[in-house]
Every structure is written in C-alpha cells, then in structure tokens.
Amino acid sequence: MTGKRDLFAQPKTPFDTAQYDLQQVFYKSKDGTKIPIFIAGKKGLKQDGTARLLMTGYGGFNLSQTPRWNPEWAWWLSQGGWFALPNLRGGGEYGEHWHEQAMFEKKQNVFDDWFAAAKFLIDNKYTSSQHFAITGRSNGGLLMGASVTQHPELFSAVLCGYPLLDMLRYQKFEQGPQWTTEYGSAENEKQFPYLLKYSPYQSVKEGTAYPAIMFFTGDSDTRVDPLHARKMTALMQAASTSGRPILLHYSLSGGHSEGVGVDQQIQDDADQLTFLWTESGPVAPKHASM
C-alpha cells in the first residue's frame, strides 16, 4: 500500500467541478444535537444573503444522503446558486440509532433538524428567506409539507414531490400499510396524537401567507397515492393569502419512480427548476388596482 491515488474514471459532463467548492460543516438542532450539512457553491460566491439557495433532504427509513452527481443540482450551481444537503436524523448516516431518533413520536426531530439547517444558512448569509428554495420527494415530500405548515416564513419556493401529506389516512392507501413501522398509525390511539400534531394536511391554516409551492405527482404512483398532493393543492390554494402560486404538476403516465421517457424527464426537470429558480428570485411588485 503506497497511499497513492489515481483517477480511475470520470464522467464526461459539461460541468467543471474545479470551479466549485464543497464543504461539510456542523450546526446544532433544536435539542442541541450536532447535524452535518454539505454546502456547495461557485468559488468566490458571496455570502451576503442575496444568492438563491436550494436545499434538499429526506430524513427517514435509514437512508443515507451523501454527495452524488445530480444534473439538476449541477444546473443550480452553474447559475450561481448555493446548494445544501443536511444529514437529518432518520437517515442511516450514523447507524440505526440515528434512524431511531426520528421514528414514530420522534419524527418532529427531522423537521427540527431541517429548520435549524435553514436558520443556520440564513444566519450565515448564504441566502435569505426570500431566496430560499427547497425540494423533497416521498418521505422528503412529507418534509416539504411540514416546512410550509410549520415555518412558511423561512422559505420562498417549495417543490413537494410524490408526497405523504395526510398522515391520519396514509396507511389506508397504496403501500401505506408497510410504513406504519416507521411512522405509526392513526388507528392506534397512542400514536394518533403525535401524527395529528405534525400531519401537514391537518395543519393548514386559513389566512396564512404561504410560499410558492409546486406539488408534483402522477396517476401511476403506486407507492404514495396521488390523492395526497391533489387535495393538499386545493386546500392550500383556498387557505393562502400570499398571492404566490400554488400549483399541481400532474402526469397521467409518471409514477413514484418516474418511469417516463428521457424527453419527458427533461421536460419535468425543466419545469421544476424553472419554478424553483423563478420563485426564489426577486418578488415582482404588486400592481395598484385600477
């Protein structure tokens, strides 16, 4: 063993990694737990609160979230935005104990880790709430739902993909019964109270200024029933007073694992990125009524 490292393979993509910095830092969650977060951006990008930032997360099912190649994130970086990925409890980054700290009645730890990450990034002037975009799907879609219902003031643009949102009824549809070992079930009288407390659908409040939101799902999702996104869209459109768009991007052929052609995938990615970039930019001035 010499310790020498050589380049074995490198993808041929039009993205010069030498122009970007990636760092891992730690911040404290609400209960004092230290949480790691990866932050990437162009070298020399100013930390003055004016740059757009895209953050994604998952926090569940013992799945680790580590840096990897993603063309959507690369596009965001190339446009001059920051990208952030916190390793929330619920994942497997530090073993099963890390996972268990966000199961059942401890699920709120995931959301608290996430909000602490957002506040850390704002406090350190990577961005501001006006330029803060977030995205997550499936269990990460639940995270997006909790974001807009618990702390809508922190974010500007939200992409909520294939989400679990009605946590009182999720177990009745599609593969929901399999996930009661992670979340619990409202049919259990001891688990009902904590599910009710954080369930996004039951937490929507009329008269709240919600951020711009795009719910993303399709008829062919056989894991998380698209009813979650459909009814949440209608409820939030009726409740929000911000005037920001609340949209439902609905596909007749796409499902939870996408399963669409390359052309359709490119179009879907373009729709999502256009929405997030536009809605995390300067807010257009309101026109005076005639």
Cβ proximity of 210 and 246 under 8 Å: yes
Contact 92, 105 (CB under 8 A): no
Strand partners, 23: 39
Q: Is 256 a catalytic residue?
A: yes
Annotated catalytic residue: which of 99, 131, 249, 256? 256
Six-digit token pair at 188? 């259990």
CB 126 within 8 A of CB 85: no
Is 138 marked active-site?
A: yes
Give how far Cα 289 sits from Cα of 207, 209, 284, 286, Å: 21, 20, 15, 9
Catalytic residue among 138, 156, 185, 199: 138
Torsion of CA 82, 88, 93, 97, to 10 degrees: 170
**DSSP one-letter string for 23-92:** EEEEEE-TTS-EEEEEEEEETT---SS-S-EEEE----TT--------HHHHHHHHTT-EEEEE--BTBS
Under 8 Å between Cβ of 218 and 254 = yes
Q: Where in the sequence numbering do the catalytic residues fall?
A: 138, 256
